[in-house]
Amino acid sequence: MLEITNLRNGTVLNAVDILTYVADGISLPVHMIPDGGFPAGTPEDEVKGILVTWLASPEVLRYTAARGLNLVICHEPLYWDEREESPLYRSSGPYRNPLDRKSHPNNLKKKIIEENNLTVLHIHYSLDKLIIYDAFSEKLGLKEVAAGEMYEKVYSLPEKMSFRKLVENVRERINLPVIRYVGDENRIIEKVGNCWGGAALSSNRYFTRRMIENGAEAIICGELDEAAMFFALEYGVCLIETSHVLSENPGIKEFADDLRRSFGSVPVEFFEIKIPYKIYEHGR
Query: Where along the sequence are the contacts to Fe ion (CB under 5 A)?
Result: 197-198
The CB-of-253 to Fe ion minimum distance in angstroms stands at 15
The CB-of-249 to Fe ion minimum distance in angstroms stands at 11
Q: How far apart are CA 213 and CA 221, in angstroms?
A: 17
Cβ-closest position to Fe ion: 197
Count other Cβ atoms within 10 Å, centred on residue 37.
Answer: 17
The CB-of-187 to Fe ion minimum distance in angstroms stands at 28
Nearer to Fe ion, 140 or 189 (CB): 140
The CB-of-266 to Fe ion minimum distance in angstroms stands at 26
| Residue 72 neighbours by CB under 8 Å, 6+ apart | 50, 51, 53, 56, 60, 61, 64, 118, 119, 120, 121
Strand ranges in 69-171 using DSSP code E only, listed in sequence order? 71-74, 119-122, 144-147, 154-162
Paired strand residues for 119: 71
Nearer to Fe ion, 106 or 204 (CB): 204
Report how far Cα 154 is from the mean position of its chain's Cα atoms.
20
The CB-of-222 to Fe ion minimum distance in angstroms stands at 7
Closest CA to 37 of 19, 55, 17: 19
CB 230 within 8 A of CB 204: no
Nearer to Fe ion, 193 or 198 (CB): 198
Q: How far apart are CA 59 and CA 249, in angstroms?
A: 17
Nearer to Fe ion, 198 or 250 (CB): 198
Nearer to Fe ion, 70 or 247 (CB): 247
Q: What is the DSSP string of 168-229?
A: HHHHHHHT-S--EEES-TT-EEEEEEEETTTTTSGGGHHHHHHHHHTT-SEEEES---HHHH
Nearer to Fe ion, 47 or 60 (CB): 60
The CB-of-26 to Fe ion minimum distance in angstroms stands at 17
The CB-of-93 to Fe ion minimum distance in angstroms stands at 36
Nearer to Fe ion, 183 or 197 (CB): 197
The CB-of-198 to Fe ion minimum distance in angstroms stands at 5
Q: How far apart are CA 195 and CA 203, in angstroms?
A: 13
Nearer to Fe ion, 70 or 194 (CB): 194
CB 219 within 8 A of CB 207: no
62: phi > 0 → left, psi -120 to 50 → alpha, else beta; which?
Answer: alpha
